[in-house]
Amino acid sequence: MVQMLLESIIEKAENYTLVSSCASARDVPSLCREYRVDLALLDVLFPDGRSGLDAAREIKAVSPATKVVIMTSMPEVSYLKRAREAGVDSFWYKEVQDLPILTIMDRTMAGESIYPDTTPQLTLGNAPSVEFTDREIEVLREILRGYTNAEIGEKLHMSERTVKQHITHMLEKTGYPNRVVLAVQARALGIVVND
């Protein structure tokens, strides 16, 4: 539905011509090179499960002149940093629209890099999302992957006891009864999304 809405906006815009619309991030880099695309709008998560952030990195490798705008409705804490690392020119949260997408496109094409100052703040149980430490988010991400405390500890180079303490702190902050509810709610809100 969002894809159709964006297509309609672009088709009605005087300054832009829609070259292609893809359901897979896999096709985008080759289309940018083949058609000499000036601007690519990419969702972070494509319907086929591929990452728009990975596609952005590939676009910049094969077509460095192509400007890239990443869009998402997920307030995943790592997306802003990962977008910058991939060379993305601008970033737009679909659900928190400070500026319309056409304004983002125009300003990006004019050479500006438009990024929000922060990830949108949500509430996870009783806690604002900004109350979670980077380490707690790393542990939460591994819980979503289904790892045990011992496996998380090994992967993140910490003791199993430290992992358990991080989980306990997150449960205390949120008021959730267990790690399963914590993980399900964090994923449902988009606070942590594993690509």
**Domains by residue range for the chain, with CATH:** 2-109 (3.40.50.2300), 123-189 (1.10.10.10)
pLDDT at 195: 63
Q: Tell me the pLDDT tens digit for each residue of 153-175.
A: 999 999 999 999 999 999 999 99
Reported as a pLDDT band with limits 50, 70 and 90, residue 27 is confident
For 115, which DSSP code?
-
pLDDT at 1: 67
**Residue 23: pLDDT above 90?**
no
* Rounded distance between C-alpha atoms, residue 55 and residue 178, angstroms: 36
Q: Tell me the pLDDT tens digit for each residue of 71-124.
A: 998 888 889 999 999 999 999 998 777 789 999 999 999 999 999 988 888 899
